[in-house]
A and B are shown apart, each in its own frame.
Chain A
Amino acid sequence: MRIMYLSFLFLLSTLFTSLLVAQKQYALPTADVQDLKGQTVSTSTFTNGGKPMVVSFWATWCKPCIAELSAIHEEYETWAEETGVKLVAISIDDQRNVAKVAPFVNGRGWNYEVYCDPNGNFKRAMSVNTVPHTFLVDGQGNIVWQHNAYNPGDEAHLFELIEKLSKGKSLESK
């Protein structure tokens, strides 16, 4: 019984903690990732010159991730023209698939800035549990919104938020 109670306590406390902090924005953490040439890059260099930035965690084996990035790919040019947004795609594929990431991305014609995080440095720093996990970063480099999982149509909501951000409105505004 004690153990059940303890489990319950753990559940409650973690839920409480997460709810408490869920709304808070924080700066994009720093970790080392690799570009598609294998060169080490610090995430502290990620910037979009004051414009909004989407940071999307994905993997070559993750079907919903590919669906999300393919859907955004269809509209990416329009998005960039209208809001100046940039998408940074972080592949969490491990060394088994790292060499396949560039052929995969180019084979699909994606124009994203792509990095590999084969040992999960950035994934851990960003507290990502599962992919897809998408973050919206404002012009000052703060994470202002995040979402886990993808279903067709979710990208429309993401774009609404990007538009608000690029117009300097609050994300909660109508």
Chain B
Amino acid sequence: MSSFRKNALLSLGLLGFASFLCAQTSPDYGEIHGNVGIDAQYYLDDPAINTQPVPDIFRANSFLNLVYTRGNFRAGLRYEAYMPKPLLGFPVAFEGHGIPFRYAGYTLGRLDITAGNFYEQFGNGLILRSYEERALGFDNALDGVRLKYQPVDGLRLIGFIARQRFYWQFSPGNIKGFDAELTLREFLPKVDWKKWNLIVGGSFVSRYQSGQEIPNPDNPANLLEIPLNVGGFSGRMNLGYGGFQLNAEYAYKINDPNALNKFIYKPGTAAYVSAAYSTKGLGISLQAKRVENFDFRSDRNAQGNDLLLNFIPMLNKQHTYALPASIYPYAVQANSELGWQADVNFTTPKWLNKKYATTVNLNFSMVSALDTTPTGDRYGYTSSAFDFGKRYYMDANIEVQQPLGKKTKLSLMYMYLWQNQRLVQGQGTTEDNLIAAHIAVVDATWKVAKKHTLRFEVQHLATPALQNPLNSLVNGSWAMGLVEYNFNPLFFASVMNQWSYGNPDEKKQIHYPTAMVGVTLKTTRIAIGYGRQREGIICIGGVCRQVPASNGLTFSLMSSF
């Protein structure tokens, strides 16, 4: 049978399976639901923005998730197709189609078993987080067996043994993980806890990967001695009193010579602390983090976004406006980071601003490298506990939201951004490339009539043009405008333009216009767009992906059922 026929049969089989299950209305047959998505693009040549010629000018990324539940039993699968090739910017290793994610699970009183694929996060994710970020083509799902058990109230145990998804293959490393969490309020319900709340937890994650011959960089005639088992431990606590909340976690990893730390034997550490206070109308949070040599993967040779086992939370605001989010984004440096963040939210009290309260968010973050001294041997370096090394990134911003009446809402944002582009984006020069930019955003929503809404966005990024630009298309100041029309709840249309008017090279002062129209039918959203996509880095939830410049027609469909 040709592979095409097989594929067609597979699709039809899936469809048949879904239809069969859906057609059953009696609760005895259980319930099925899921979601689907298709992102497709037709690529056009556009030399002005450095598009690369692509052999397959029409490409689509698609998926279908099905989740079946019946009583305590559950099962699910995800079909993915990247055909004929993945969209530009997604890892090429995704090419193809199949079912990379499938599982079955059962809950039996206090015990829960999952066989097959699953996602998991221990504590803050410092030593384990497996998750999916579809928009980035990121999926480090685990595949194996997981047990969750609650022997007594308040005590939760999780254990698993698995391998990680690596596109259409598996990680070379075998992963074992164990986590225990004790919620004292539930464990000792007779104690009068008043306003106190305490949760403590600990986890252990180990990777077993068979040995390999890696020459010692200091002495290429000899081979490095490589640990086959690499273990990571972590302890955490979450303490609350009324409106106060303190969350701390410390993690340690034994020596793990790997491609990203240049095969040194130094152990890794990570510490994360957050303190927050909030009451009606006011919320404050402070966070600090120190990460040293803590890139943890299920393959010691993996790089980029491949086979990550842990998650180092970023300590800067997650921007969503285009210029603040995407011109100079920050990416986590898991091998050396020391940083902190402060965030304040408040709403003006009624006596000050009777009719329409003002909401304000203030945020400051700064992240530096550790202050290190090379040891000159395979141990790598020593570091000072609290001294800052070279600064990576700084962001100070204020965002104000003010309704101007029943029909108009205004949001204003100002941000000062500072970045050492060479260190953050790892671009290939030896000289630091320091960026300082002022960004302003005005965002206004106007409800023109019942069901008709207009939204306007104007953004400006001001920065001096550099003499030796690393990424010439991003050099200098930018302006952006957007107009969006919504006919509730059915239809939307938007036009947008980004313009690099401050580029010192006149040929590189480029407009990036895009237009998009779409419909939303309950939980189905279909959109068609046309325009230029800027070359750059998009980041979602702490993971970034390099996107090449492109020009063309896009189609997207998302639906859940």
* Chain B interface bracket (under 10, 10 to 19, 20 to 34, 35 or more): 35 or more
Listed stretches B378-386, B473-481, B498-506, B519-527; interface member: B519-527
In the complex, the answer to whether B318 meets A96 with C-beta atoms within 8 Å is yes
In the complex, the answer to whether B282 meets A107 with C-beta atoms within 8 Å is yes
In the complex, the answer to whether A16 meets B15 with C-beta atoms within 8 Å is yes
Chain A nearest Cβ from B143, distance in angstroms: 16
With A17-B15, A21-B32, A120-B131 given, can you name 16 additional A-B contacts, CB distance below 8 Å? A22-B523, A22-B561, A26-B33, A36-B245, A37-B238, A94-B542, A97-B318, A100-B276, A100-B285, A102-B278, A103-B276, A107-B281, A107-B361, A108-B345, A120-B132, A121-B119
Residue on B nearest A11 in the bound complex, by CB: B38
- B398 interfacial contact with A, CB 8 Å: no
State which residues 505-531 of B face A: CB under 8 Å.
520, 522-525
**Binary CB contact string for chain A from 65 to 105 against chain B (1 if under 8 A, 0 otherwise):** 00100100000000000000000000000111101101111
Q: For B468, list chain A residues within 8 Å (CB).
A: none
Whole-angstrom distance between the alpha carbons of A124 and B18 in the complex?
18
Whole-angstrom distance between the alpha carbons of A138 and B84 in the complex?
44
**A107 and B283 contact, Cβ closer than 8 Å, known pairs A11-B62, A61-B320, A95-B124:** yes
Whole-angstrom distance between the alpha carbons of A153 and B124 in the complex?
37
In the complex, the answer to whether A129 meets B276 with C-beta atoms within 8 Å is no
Listed stretches B295-303, B432-440, B444-452; interface member: B444-452
Q: Which of B4, B315, B557 is close to A2, meaning CB atoms less than 8 Å apart?
A: B4
Residues of B within 8 A of A (CB): 4, 7-8, 11-12, 14-15, 18-19, 22-23, 31-38, 40, 58, 60, 62, 64-65, 67, 69, 81, 83-84, 107, 119-121, 124-125, 129, 131-132, 156, 181, 183, 185-186, 197, 199, 238, 240, 243, 245, 247, 274, 276-285, 287, 311, 313-315, 318-320, 343-347, 359, 361, 409, 411, 443, 445, 447, 450-451, 453, 486, 488-489, 492, 520, 522-525, 541-542, 557-561
Q: For A125, list chain B residues within 8 Å (CB).
A: 67
**A38 and B238 contact, Cβ closer than 8 Å, known pairs A13-B12, A102-B278, A103-B345:** yes
Q: For B283, list chain A residues within 8 Å (CB).
A: 100, 102-107
Sample (15) of A-B pairs whose CB atoms are under 8 Å apart: A2-B4, A7-B83, A11-B557, A20-B23, A21-B22, A22-B523, A22-B524, A38-B238, A38-B240, A38-B247, A96-B314, A97-B318, A127-B33, A129-B558, A153-B488
Q: Which of A27, A61, A108 is close to B31, meaning CB atoms less than 8 Å apart?
A: A27
In the complex, the answer to whether B346 meets A95 with C-beta atoms within 8 Å is no
Q: For B34, list chain A residues within 8 Å (CB).
A: 127
In the complex, the answer to whether B560 meets A40 with C-beta atoms within 8 Å is no
Q: For B8, list chain A residues within 8 Å (CB).
A: 6, 9
**A103 and B277 contact, Cβ closer than 8 Å, known pairs A118-B121, A124-B119, A152-B445:** yes
Q: Which of B22, B318, B523 is close to A147, meaning CB atoms less than 8 Å apart?
A: B523
In the complex, the answer to whether A20 meets B22 with C-beta atoms within 8 Å is yes
Residue on A nearest B343 in the bound complex, by CB: A100
**A102 and B245 contact, Cβ closer than 8 Å, known pairs A9-B8, A17-B36, A108-B359:** yes
In the complex, the answer to whether A67 meets B445 with C-beta atoms within 8 Å is yes
Most B CB contacts (10 A, CB to CB) among A6, A106, A126, A130 go to A106
Residue on A nearest B35 in the bound complex, by CB: A127
In the complex, the answer to whether A37 meets B245 with C-beta atoms within 8 Å is yes
Chain B nearest Cβ from A60, distance in angstroms: 7
Q: Which of A60, A70, A151 is close to B318, meaning CB atoms less than 8 Å apart?
A: A60
Whole-angstrom distance between the alpha carbons of A148 and B522 in the complex?
6
Task: List 4 tightest A-B contacts by C-beta distance, closest first.
Answer: A103-B283, A107-B345, A107-B283, A106-B278
**A61 and B318 contact, Cβ closer than 8 Å, known pairs A27-B31, A148-B520, A148-B522:** yes
Q: For A133, list chain B residues within 8 Å (CB).
A: 523, 560
Residue on A nearest B40 in the bound complex, by CB: A7
Q: For A120, list chain B residues within 8 Å (CB).
A: 119, 131-132
Q: Which of B18, B19, B121, B276 is close to A95, meaning CB atoms less than 8 Å apart?
A: B121
In the complex, the answer to whether B313 meets A96 with C-beta atoms within 8 Å is yes
Chain A nearest Cβ from B510, distance in angstroms: 27
Q: For A21, list chain B residues within 8 Å (CB).
A: 18, 22, 32-33, 561
Chain A nearest Cβ from B313, distance in angstroms: 4
In the complex, the answer to whether A127 meets B560 with C-beta atoms within 8 Å is yes
- A119 interfacial contact with B, CB 8 Å: yes
In the complex, the answer to whether B278 meets A4 with C-beta atoms within 8 Å is no
Most B CB contacts (10 A, CB to CB) among A14, A24, A60 go to A14
In the complex, the answer to whether A13 meets B276 with C-beta atoms within 8 Å is no
Residue on A nearest B129 in the bound complex, by CB: A119
- A39 interfacial contact with B, CB 8 Å: yes
In the complex, the answer to whether B183 meets A17 with C-beta atoms within 8 Å is no
Q: Which of B107, B245, B443 is close to A99, meaning CB atoms less than 8 Å apart?
A: B245
Residue on A nearest B249 in the bound complex, by CB: A95
Most A CB contacts (10 A, CB to CB) among B311, B314, B453, B559 go to B559
Chain B nearest Cβ from A114, distance in angstroms: 11
Whole-angstrom distance between the alpha carbons of A124 and B62 in the complex?
17
Q: For A45, list chain B residues within 8 Å (CB).
A: none
Q: For B346, list chain A residues within 8 Å (CB).
A: 107
Q: For A63, list chain B residues within 8 Å (CB).
A: 320, 411, 443
Chain A nearest Cβ from B347, distance in angstroms: 6
Chain B nearest Cβ from A6, distance in angstroms: 5
Whole-angstrom distance between the alpha carbons of A4 and B57 in the complex?
12
Residue on A nearest B521 in the bound complex, by CB: A22
**Binary CB contact string for chain A from 41 to 68 against chain B (1 if under 8 A, 0 otherwise):** 0000000000000000000111100010
In the complex, the answer to whether B522 meets A119 with C-beta atoms within 8 Å is no
Chain B nearest Cβ from A77, distance in angstroms: 14
Whole-angstrom distance between the alpha carbons of A104 and B7 in the complex?
48
In the complex, the answer to whether A40 meets B156 with C-beta atoms within 8 Å is yes
Q: Which of B22, B124, B361, B542 is close to A17, meaning CB atoms less than 8 Å apart?
A: B22
Residue on B nearest A146 in the bound complex, by CB: B523
In the complex, the answer to whether A157 meets B245 with C-beta atoms within 8 Å is no
Whole-angstrom distance between the alpha carbons of A107 and B67 in the complex?
37
